[in-house]
Chain A
């Protein structure tokens, strides 16, 4: 009998198991879950810490039973691609006919003295979220290290609870890597208006425990008092197991357009996979990337080889502001504002060589949805077209997919 082993039970692994059954895969499916909880939704954790009281599972417990998906609450410790086996942490050996790495990513550790102190937290897992939430109850001051989505989402949540929040941002502005300068500056102003203190071009030198309270020393010599420090300075793909099995690794597990690794019959997807997009190799960290790659891979694994080519999209919520991104922008892209930012609702088009490549939408979900469809249509869209038409109007001109 065919047996597909999926290592990792995050959004990618669980969606793949689900989609395989949807594609009528009749063999065995083994899902290896090293977190030991029913697989759950991660995005709400940083956006709404309250949600960790009622964590949302990705699927109901009976789903795994009904779909005959065997969940192993264990870590995979070795893979032998010649023998086609996976060794689990309890010593058990599982045979496979196809293997999928959905091992995700882990937080980059804080590389400074004091990172090991109590009340210095990352924020990725349910356990992290619960610890942070508990600490926040008696906190007056929080320092956020790293001004990416996780850091700024947390900053907004903490500030809304009346906590004094300082952010150390190594870039020229918060969210500098994730968003265009226009949108990032607009959001930074919103955070400041909500009382968040943002320090740009400033990192952490060390953290000290002074009589039970934390002091964060910045690279500019600033000293910030804190009851809690939260860091979000990026992630590292979990590639060690794949590397140990001899798979090619380069910023993630290298896969081809069908998500196959350097070994036949072995695949990777989601946060851990480095794949060839239309604009070059990339490794994306998002729910959409995980679940859409899973849907595509399920087809390939059921004898309908399919190349992955979905338009990436992302979202964030900060101070009840909805930020949605369609496509992949780059710092050198030309920026064109659509709408009026002072109204609190606008989109920003990013153009490369004169053509639309990405759209960031702030409180404009309809723009975002239209942008996703437009980018997927492949229709070339110029600045002139964007100046004369709304995204929705342009969509009526696009060829049907």
Chain B
């Protein structure tokens, strides 16, 4: 099963297994991983599911679409070159993804 490892700002890590093609925001919200809000329900409208993808995993993700690009400029915590919106990225079969959760979403 695809796996996502969430690392909190304090270094605590949580590993979540999920069904294929479940996005990162949904995985965090349904499993109770703190620090990902997903206020708009996953429609790239609120930028409250901001994550920093581990540089080693960044290449496996689809490119950033225009609307995600614009929303990433508006995140509460600073954007880095590895910033993504959790609702726009998912993990394929047999893959794993490491993401770090920023200090603030709202």
Contacts and interface: CB of A to CB of B under 8 A. Distances in A.
A56 B39 CA distance: 11
A57 to B, nearest CB: 6
Contact of A369 (B26, B29, B42, B71): B71
Interface in B59-106: 67, 70-71, 73-74, 106
A62 B32 contact: yes
Contacts of B38: 41, 56
Contact of A365 (B29, B41, B42, B74): B74
Nearest to A43: B41
A177 interface: no
Given A56-B38, A291-B39, A315-B40, A369 B74 contact: yes
Mostly, the B contact residues are loop
A369 B39 contact: no
A295 B48 CA distance: 15
Contacts of A315: 40, 43, 45
A322 interface: yes
Given A287-B39, A365-B71, A59 B29 contact: yes
A56 B30 contact: yes
Contacts of A66: 32
Contact of B32 (A56, A60, A295, A365): A60
Category for how many chain A residues contact B: 20 to 34
Interface string A35-52: 000000111100100010
B51 interface: no
B41 A60 contact: no
A59 B32 contact: yes
A306 interface: no
Given A57-B29, A58-B29, A363-B67, 5 more contacts: A41-B42, A43-B43, A47-B43, A322-B45, A324-B45
